[in-house]
Amino acid sequence: MKPLRFALFGTGFWSYYQMAGWREVGGVECVAVYNRTREKAEKFAAHFGIPAVYTDPAALLDAETVDFIDICTNVETHAPLTALGAAHGVDIVCQKPMATSLAEAASMVAACKNAGVKLFINENWRWQTPIRALKAHLDAGRIGRVFRARIDYRNSFPVFDNQPFLKDLDQFILTDIGSHIVDVARFLFGDASTLYAQTARVHPDIKGEDVATCMMKMGGATVVCEMSYATKREHDRFPETYIQVEGDKGFLELAPDFWIRETTDAGTLAKRYPPPRYAWADPAYDLAHSSIVPCQADIAAGLRGERAETTGDDNLKTVQLVFGSYQSAAAGTVVDPAAL
């Protein structure tokens, strides 16, 4: 099969793992990189053996023949770079969070549809090995009708150490980790019909919120998502997500260290679902980094015309929950995400 040619836009912290993921997946070839700082782009290109470096994204697309671009730049550049790629008739893969606002995200989806190109969001959290295993347990139906669930991402990991720009965001945890967590909620339980959120700032030296709680009605279930980078706890195993699901026939739990416990009248079944390990992954992030590979494999299939999960249309519903949460928290009211 002929490799898909692509250009990577952005050569910062996350891009190294993004590129390593693509190489793990295979079937794609990065032929050029763009970064506004040439020195950073050249360092990245030398590391991965990429032949061409650009400091102007338009010049790259004018000069290179690519099947898609992978946007791994700051969120405020996602919409203009997506519009640029769409205008050049190439498919788009974009890092999360999708955009700085719901309107901006909708404009990205529209630009790609109008140009007849595909848009995918690199939303990897739902592809974590234990979360996929939990979904399989849910789909088996042994715990019956789900009526309540809790998704717990609370820790004190020093996330600002290697991504200091996060301190300066006016909107932080909901756009950063919240994009992942509410997407997992959608993946597991479906779309939300109501949403209520509260936020707080605990770290004194940041602009945005570092604590958020969202409560949603998803089908017949009440789903609570708890997020924090200010919580000191015994099981502080960044970046693990803990999940508890209550059904009318049982209880399902994704517990620390990747254990899933399913309790029904027949007893409790316990099994551990550790993620694969890759030599290129940062040990502090390896759970998240390992999920890049199946996510990008799914996107690669989508680029070749197969069905993929994290399309622009799908992620737009996640974006509705993120910015709906800010609206709910500011007004202290319940909102309808679909009406935003």
Distance CA 336, CA 147 (A): 20
Q: Would you state the pLDDT for residue 110?
A: 98
Distance CA 245, CA 268 (A): 14
Domain 4-122 = CATH 3.40.50.720: yes
Question: Six-digit token pair at 65?
Answer: 């023949």
Contact status, residue 272 vs residue 258, Cβ threshold 8 Å: yes
- The fold for domain 126-282+311-339 equals Dihydrodipicolinate Reductase; domain 2 (3.30.360)
- Domain residue extents for the chain: 4-122, 126-282+311-339
**What count of Cα atoms within 13 Å lies in the side-chain half-sphere of residue 2?**
7
Distance CA 148, CA 222 (A): 5
Question: Six-digit token pair at 313?
Answer: 């249309």
Question: Six-digit token pair at 124?
Answer: 């990897």
Question: Six-digit token pair at 161?
Answer: 């150490």
The CA R_g of the chain, rounded to the nearest whole Å, is 20
Query: Which of 83, 43, 60, 86 has the alpha carbon at shortest distance from 7?
Result: 60
Q: Would you state the pLDDT for residue 216?
A: 98
Question: Six-digit token pair at 203?
Answer: 């770290």
Phi, psi of 293 (to 5 degrees): -65, -55
Question: How does strand 192-200 pair with strand 211-218?
Answer: antiparallel
Does residue 49 come out as left (phi exceeding 0), alpha (psi in the -120 to 50 range) or beta? left
Q: In what helix (H) or strand (E) does residue 17 lie, and over which residues does it extend?
A: helix 15-25
Question: How does strand 52-54 pair with strand 192-200?
Answer: unpaired
Q: Is 219 helix (H, G, I), strand (E, B) or coil?
A: coil
The model's pTM is 0.96
Distance CA 141, CA 159 (A): 37
Distances (CA, A) of 86 to 8, 113, 148, 271: 15, 9, 41, 45
Helix residue ranges per DSSP H, 141-279? 173-176, 178-189
Cross-strand partners of 244:
150, 253
CA 277 to chain CA centroid, Å, is 19
Q: Tens-digit pLDDT profile for the chain (340 aa)? A: 899 999 999 999 899 999 999 999 999 999 999 999 999 999 999 999 999 999 999 999 999 999 999 999 999 999 999 999 999 999 999 999 999 999 999 999 999 999 999 999 999 999 999 999 999 999 999 999 999 999 999 999 998 887 888 899 999 999 999 999 999 999 999 999 999 999 999 999 999 999 999 999 999 999 999 999 999 988 788 999 999 999 999 999 999 999 999 999 999 999 999 999 999 999 888 899 999 999 999 999 999 999 999 999 999 999 999 999 999 999 999 999 989 8
Question: Six-digit token pair at 222?
Answer: 């009440």
- Residue 171 gets which letter from DSSP? S
